[in-house]
Structure formats: structure tokens, C-alpha cells
Amino acid sequence: MKIDIGPVTRLEGHLNINTTVENNIITDAKSMGEMFRGFEVFLLGRDPLDAQQITQRICGVCPYAHAIASSYAQEAAYRLRTPPNGRILHNLIQGANHLYDYLLHFYQLSALDFIDVTAITGYTGKDRDLTHLKEWVNHALGSGDSHPAAPFLPRLSGTYVTDADINITALKHYVESLEIQKKANRASAIFGGRFPHATGIFPGGCTRPPDIDAISSYQALIHEVKHFIHHKYLPDLLAVAGAFPEYWHIGQSKGGFMSYGLLPFGPEPDSPRLLSPGVLIDGKVETVKTGAITEDVKFAKYSSPSGLKVTQGRLTPAPHKEGAYSWVKAPRYGGHVLEVGPAARILVDYLQGGNETVKQLVDRFAGMADIRPEQLNSVLGRHLCRAVSAVVIADFLLDQTEQINPSAPFIPEIKIPEAGEGFGLTEASRGALLHYIRIRNYKIDHYECVVPTTWNCSPRDDTGRPGALESALIGTRVEDPAQQIEANRIVHSFDPCLACAVH
Ligand code: NFE
């Protein structure tokens, strides 16, 4: 039986998932990106310094990650010497955006897969937010309208958390988290400019001086976000995990993992990062080699050649190409299928003995769940790894604010060369993000983005192997083949952004 479960909601962009279900088991899955965009085409011929502005428009959720990847790529192409303050400001902007994004993903995009929003109808307290929510849901349940109370209802059939306290507490935090997300974005905006598309980010630094007022405002906001992470986000996540322990084993991808490493300690291109980079294939972590990345298009809607390296990338749309089922390309690493994102980021760091707090948290939570760290590529593992990332990022950002020298330079003089090229590698919230720029005659001659959701939601490659999300869906048992709440939970655990994936 073939069933489309798309358009999948509570994610960014246009994703359809085509499943084949036999005896309640998903025996095949196709991840279909349903939109063409073409940023790499219209960047050609532009001033290179436009790139970190234009590529932010790829996405309204992770724009800063694109600006930072583009800035790193340009720093390499211009051979810029980035001042320490410049790198710190990049980190402060990008890191706060991660915190915003993890909260958005957990509460608004995923929590209601598990939390029973109808539990609010039994609420008898006096909290204003919850009373409002109760009226909203009560009205919706009685209205008979098929889309009565978005974003809360309708919902898929399945089992939800039964404990009223867990449900009500998480719903309260669902509402509160919106204010906290705003604070994280305000923190980024202090140095980068207003969310979502910051005008202040440049190669090597930012346009806003890091004076004492700006630093202390940033610190105050991040302290509030950190408090929410420790006292609300982590406990809510663990409560969900306690109610659905089977999801430590559901939704496991069947390839390797890659992280480019997140948040450099210093200004140099090869500075160690808060979370270390690496590729994990067959149990071994290796150094990332950008030359090993290729993009297949046999099943993607492009007529340009398949299997090209990043430096050769081409993009000729072919909407009616036979056999093609997605606008997302299929990136591979030396031919390997890779999962990127929070689980990859944490696992690659953990297995290299990187961050001490990561090690402690992973050991603690893996012990509680009775899983091996290698099993973090599950629905709950991905959620947990976002929370672990949030904990270490918040501390790192506060520490970085102490490293700023307010009287030192915060942006270098930028001189665009006649010719040059550079890679920019960072971790967006959703995973490994690469930008490549080549400059000829002072203009952009070639620009390529290989984006987290392009890896995770990739279609088959030329040899027919499914992408990470497709492989995570195949083999899953679904109670109700028409609705497939289990598949939706798997998709959401990857936090796909199709706007980014097709760029
Ligand atoms: Ni549009 Fe993005 C992130 C990037 S995902 S959200 O995080 O890059 O592919």
C-alpha cells in the first residue's frame, strides 16, 4: 500500500514523504523536496560581499548559520586576518541563534507529537496563558471545523503522554518558550542586527562595536535563556523520554555521521571548536575532507551532471526528468550516506573525547536510557543531543563575552581579490553546513551550498541507496498506516528545512 504522509507539517518548507506500507511496516520511503529555488544560480556575477547577505535569505530559521558559513568562505578567499573580537562576535550571534532554534524545534515543532494538548480541557488553575489555551482548545473541540485550532489541532491518531501534570507543564512552557526564543534572538540582534536577516555580519567580524553596554545586555539575555534550558527544556524533554522509551530505538539512520564542528575558540581558520569536527564511518572518526563530497542527481530534478564535487557543482533544473522525485540533491561522502545534525555533532565530539560536559551529559543520559552512545541517532537521541548542545553552547557564549576586549578591532579591513576561492564550514542547528565561493574578476564565479537538510532528506543516490531520513523510516512499524504518527515523529526528529535543502 503506497501512502503519502505529506505535506508534512511543523517543519520549514515543502516536504512530502511517500511510504510503502506492508503489514504495518514501512518497507519503502521516498523523501521528496517539492520546490526549486536556485540561489547558487542567481549569486553568479555578483559582488562577493553580497553573499553573506543573500544566502541568509535561503532561510528564515537558520539565516545566521548561512551568513557565518559564507563569511568563513570569504575569509579564506580574501586571506583575511580575522581579529579575535570579530570571531567572538560571530560566535555570539550564531550561538544565540542555535539556542532559539532548539527551543523552537522542541516546543513548537515536536512536543505536540507526544504531549496531549487536549489535557488542557481538564485544567482548573488560574494561569492566564493556560486558561486562554483551554478556551481555544475547548472551542476547537466543539466547533466541528476540520482545522479548528491550528497550531494545536487537529492532530494525528496515536498514543500521547497520559500524565496530566507533564502535559500541562509542557503546554505552559510551550507558551513561555516563545518569549525565551525572542530573548535569544534579541541577543543575536545586539551585534548582528534584527532577526531574521542580520545586516551586521561580515567576513572577519561585525559592524557593531562590542561596548560594555552591548556585552552586558547580551549576557543578561543569555542568562535567562540558560535558566529556561536547565529548568524547563531539559526536564520537559526527559519527561517525554520517560513516557516513550521505545523512541530511543525508533528512527535510526543506517549510514555514517558528519559534523563540521561548532563555534571556534580562536580567530584562525583551523582553531579548535567547542564541538569538534569529524566524519564517523564504520565506527571510526576521521578528519573531514571537502574533496570527498559529491552530489548525485539521478533521482533529483536536475539535468546537470551527477556525482560532481563541490568545486564543480552545477544546477540545471529539469522538472519533468524521468524517475526523479525530489528537488533535493543527494550528497555523499566518498560514496557514503551520512546523517548530519545534533546526533552527529554530539556523537562525533563524544567519540573523540572532545567537550567534557558533553561526555558527562551523554554518559548520564545514555545510562538512564540504557542505550549506547552510538544509538543516539534515534528519535529521542536527536532531541537529547539538541538539549546537550544547548547546555554547552549557553555556557560557551557567556564565557566568550568575558574574552572580548572592547577597545580592540572587531572587523578587519576587507579587500576583495581579483581571484580566489574558499570553503566555509560550520554547524547550523540542523547540521553540517558548507559554503564554497570562487571569485574571478572580482565577482562570484561559482557558489555552492551543501546544506544539512540536503544530506538528511536526500533522495536515492545514483546507486539507489536511500538518504539518511529515508533509511530511518524504512523498517518502522506504524499502528495506523493512513496517519503514521511514528513516521511523523521520525521526520520531526531530523527537524528538516526544505527551504534550506533545495536553496
Ligand atoms: Ni532552513 Fe538550515 C539549519 C541550514 S537546514 S534551517 O539549521 O543550513 O538544512
**pLDDT for res 143:** 67
Which atom of ligand 1 is closest in space to residue 453's alpha carbon? 9
Dump pLDDT digits (tens) for 187-219: 999 999 999 999 999 999 999 999 999 999 999
**H helices present in 434-473, as ranges:** 452-456, 468-473
Q: Is 62 in the pocket of ligand 1 (CB under 6 A)?
A: yes
**pLDDT for res 216:** 98
Instruction: Give the residue among 232, 263, 212, 258 at the shortest CA–CA distance from 395.
Output: 263
**pLDDT for res 499:** 95
The mean per-residue pLDDT over the stretch 116-121 comes to: 94
pLDDT band at 142 (very low <50, low <70, confident <90, very high): confident
Please compute Rg for the chain using Cα positions.
22
445 part of a folded domain: yes
**Bridge partner residues of 296 (DSSP):** 330
**pLDDT for res 145:** 62
Please state at what angle helix 84-103 crosses helix 164-192, rounded to 10 degrees: 150
136 part of a folded domain: no
Residues that constitute the known binding site for Fe cation: 500
Q: Is 96 in the pocket of ligand 1 (CB under 6 A)?
A: no
113 part of a folded domain: no
* pLDDT of 148 over the 80 cut: no
User: Which domain range does residue 408 map to?
Assistant: 2-93+208-213+249-502
Dump pLDDT digits (tens) for 292-327: 999 999 999 999 999 999 999 889 999 999 999 999
Phi/psi of residue 98, each to 5°? -60, -45
Q: Is 109 in the pocket of ligand 1 (CB under 6 A)?
A: no
Other C-beta atoms closer than 10 Å to the C-beta of 177 total: 24
CB-based contacts of 398: which residues, under 8 Å, 6+ apart? 219, 222, 223, 226
Dump pLDDT digits (tens) for 236-256: 999 999 999 999 999 999 999
The Cα 345–Cα 273 span in angstroms is 12
The Cα 30–Cα 448 span in angstroms is 25
CB-based contact 152:106 (threshold 8 Å):
no
145 part of a folded domain: no
pLDDT band at 151 (very low <50, low <70, confident <90, very high): confident
Q: Is 501 in the pocket of ligand 1 (CB under 6 A)?
A: yes
Other C-beta atoms closer than 10 Å to the C-beta of 246 total: 11
227 part of a folded domain: no
Dump pLDDT digits (tens) for 423-434: 999 999 999 999
Percent of the chain with pLDDT over 90: 93
The mean per-residue pLDDT over the stretch 34-48 comes to: 95
Q: What angle is formed at CA 292 by the lines to CA 290 and CA 298, rounded to 5 degrees?
A: 115
3-state secondary structure of 177: helix
Report the residue among 99, 454, 497 best suited for mutation to probe ligand 1: largest number of ligand atoms under 8 A from its CB.
497
Q: What is the pTM of this model?
A: 0.97
86 part of a folded domain: yes
* pLDDT of 102 over the 60 cut: yes
* pLDDT of 352 over the 90 cut: yes
* pLDDT of 17 over the 60 cut: yes
End-to-end CA distance of the chain: 32
Instruction: Give the residue among 108, 90, 106, 169 at the shortest CA–CA distance from 400.
Output: 90
Q: Is 98 in the pocket of ligand 1 (CB under 6 A)?
A: no
150 part of a folded domain: no
Considering the chain, what is the average pLDDT of its residues?
96
E-assigned strand segments in 297-343:
308-309, 330-333, 338-340
Strand order in the sheet with 256-259: 284-286, 278-281, 256-259, 338-340
Q: How far is the CA of 118 from the centre of ligand 1 (A)?
A: 32
Three-state helix/strand/coil letters over 342-364: HHHHHHHHHHCCCCHHHHHHHHH
Residues that constitute the known binding site: 40, 59, 62, 497, 500, 503
The Cα 338–Cα 331 span in angstroms is 8
Which atom of ligand 1 is closest in space to residue 428's alpha carbon? 7
Percent of the chain with pLDDT over 70: 99
Give the CA count within 13 Å in the CB-facing half-sphere of 239. 24
Other C-beta atoms closer than 10 Å to the C-beta of 182 total: 14
**pLDDT for res 100:** 98
CB-based contact 484:3 (threshold 8 Å):
yes
* pLDDT of 43 over the 90 cut: yes
339 part of a folded domain: yes
Which atom of ligand 1 is closest in space to residue 13's alpha carbon? 1
The mean per-residue pLDDT over the stretch 281-290 comes to: 97
Q: What angle is formed at CA 143 by the lines to CA 142 and CA 145, rounded to 5 degrees?
A: 135
Output the DSSP codes for 248-294.
GSSS---SEEEE--EEESSSSTT--EEE--EEEETTEEE---GGGEE
The Cα 486–Cα 476 span in angstroms is 8
pLDDT band at 232 (very low <50, low <70, confident <90, very high): very high
**pLDDT for res 136:** 86
Dump pLDDT digits (tens) for 435-494: 999 999 999 999 999 999 999 999 999 999 999 999 999 999 999 999 999 999 999 999
* pLDDT of 152 over the 90 cut: no
Q: Is 500 in the pocket of ligand 1 (CB under 6 A)?
A: yes
Give the domain CATH number at 462.
1.10.645.10
Q: How far is the CA of 57 from the centre of ligand 1 (A)?
A: 11
The mean per-residue pLDDT over the stretch 77-103 comes to: 98
Indicate whether this complex's ipTM tops 0.85. Answer: yes
Instruction: Give the residue among 404, 422, 496, 415 at the shortest CA–CA distance from 191.
Output: 404
Strand 256-259 and strand 338-340: the pairing is parallel
Q: Is 428 in the pocket of ligand 1 (CB under 6 A)?
A: yes
How many structural domains compose the chain? 1
Three-state helix/strand/coil letters over 64-101: HHHHHHHHHHHHHHHCCCCCHHHHHHHHHHHHHHHHHH
The Cα 449–Cα 430 span in angstroms is 14
**pLDDT for res 144:** 61
Q: Is 65 in the pocket of ligand 1 (CB under 6 A)?
A: yes
Other C-beta atoms closer than 10 Å to the C-beta of 209 total: 14
